[in-house]
Amino acid sequence: MDLDRHVWTSVLMRLTLGSVFIFAGVLKLFFDVAPPIEKIIFFMPKETSVALLGILEFVVGVLLLIGLLARAASVVAALLLAGFVFSSFALGVFVTQFIIKDIVLFAVALHVALHGAPVFSADNLVQRL
């Protein structure tokens, strides 16, 4: 694959998406910043659901950042983002900057899911070995 601008934008999108997920996970795990998750996941304690979501977001972010299992991680990211958007609609929050951000990140996750991490990634390194 030639290193053209499309490869660079794919790498930038994967790194950006991974960074956003790492940041979101760290906020949930260490700074107690979380959406009203108890209204959505009502069958487990809020602390447990926030911790599990934070761990999942952090792991997905790290996998995207290093490019390991990038397609699978981006599918999980897309599912999480779709869940965030639909739960926001269910809570009655229709037009905010957070939903718009999640919709854009969903599109980025779909791009990474379709194209993977062909260069500058652990997936590429493993494939070459």
Residue 42's domain spans which residues?
A: 5-128
In the 8-state DSSP scheme, what is residue 17?
Answer: H
Phi-psi region at 2: left, alpha or beta (left = phi > 0; alpha = psi -120 to 50): beta
Q: How many domains does the chain have?
A: 1
pLDDT (0 to 100) of residue 1: 47
Cα–chain center distance at 54: 11
Task: Provide φ and ψ at 41, rounded to 5°.
Answer: -100, 85
User: Per residue in 3-21, pLDDT tens?
Assistant: 566 788 889 999 999 999 9
> In Å, how far are 6, 7, 66, 73 from 121, measured between CA atoms?
15, 12, 6, 13
This prediction's pTM:
0.87
Cα Rg of the chain (Å, integer)? 16
- State pLDDT tens for residues 38-73: 777 778 888 888 899 999 999 999 999 999 999 999
